Amino acid sequence: MSESIKYTSKNIAEFYSKNRIKWDDFYNSEKAIFENSIVDNKISVLDLGCGCGGLGIALKERFGVEDYTGIDIQNEAIELGKSLQPHANLYVDDIFNLQNESIKSRKFDLVVSLSCIDWNLNFDQTLGSAWNLVKDGGVFISTFRLTNAATVDDIKKSYQYINFEGKFEGEIAPYVVLNVNDLLGKLASLDPVELNANGYWGQPSKSAKTVYESLCFSAFAIRKKRFNEGSDFEMSLKLPLDLFRSNCT
The answer to whether residue 170 sits within a structural domain is yes
The answer to whether residue 249 sits within a structural domain is no
The answer to whether residue 102 sits within a structural domain is yes
The answer to whether residue 23 sits within a structural domain is yes
The answer to whether residue 202 sits within a structural domain is yes
Q: Say yes or no to pLDDT of 248 above 70.
A: no
Boundaries of domain holding 220: 11-244
The per-residue pLDDT of the chain, averaged, comes to 90
DSSP the chain: ---------THHHHHHTTSS-SGGGS-HHHHHHHHHH---TT-EEEEET-TTTHHHHHHHHHH---EEEEEES-HHHHHHHHHH-TT-EEEE--TTS---HHHHT--EEEEEESSSGGGSS-HHHHHHHHHTTEEEEEEEEEEEEEESS--B--TTTSEEES-SS--S-S-EEE--BEEHHHHHHHHHTT--SEEEEEEEEEPPPTTEE-S-S-EEEEEEEEEPPPTT--S--EEEEES-GGGGS----
The answer to whether residue 5 sits within a structural domain is no
The answer to whether residue 180 sits within a structural domain is yes
Q: What is the dihedral of CA 83, 86, 88, 94, to 10 degrees?
A: 40
What would the pLDDT profile of 66-125 be if each residue is shown by its tens digit? Answer: 999 999 998 999 999 999 888 889 999 998 888 999 898 999 999 999 988 888 778 899
The answer to whether residue 2 sits within a structural domain is no
pLDDT band at 173 (very low <50, low <70, confident <90, very high): confident
Tell me how many domains the chain contains.
1
Q: Say yes or no to pLDDT of 41 above 70.
A: yes
Mean pLDDT of 203-230: 94
Q: Say yes or no to pLDDT of 161 above 50.
A: yes
Q: Say yes or no to pLDDT of 42 above 90.
A: yes
What CATH number does the domain containing 205 carry?
3.40.50.150
pLDDT band at 1 (very low <50, low <70, confident <90, very high): very low
Q: Is 104 exposed, middle or buried (0-12, 13-18, 19+ CB in 10 A)?
A: exposed
pLDDT band at 9 (very low <50, low <70, confident <90, very high): low
User: Which has the higher per-residue pLDDT, 178 or 13?
Assistant: 178
Q: Say yes or no to pLDDT of 229 above 90.
A: no
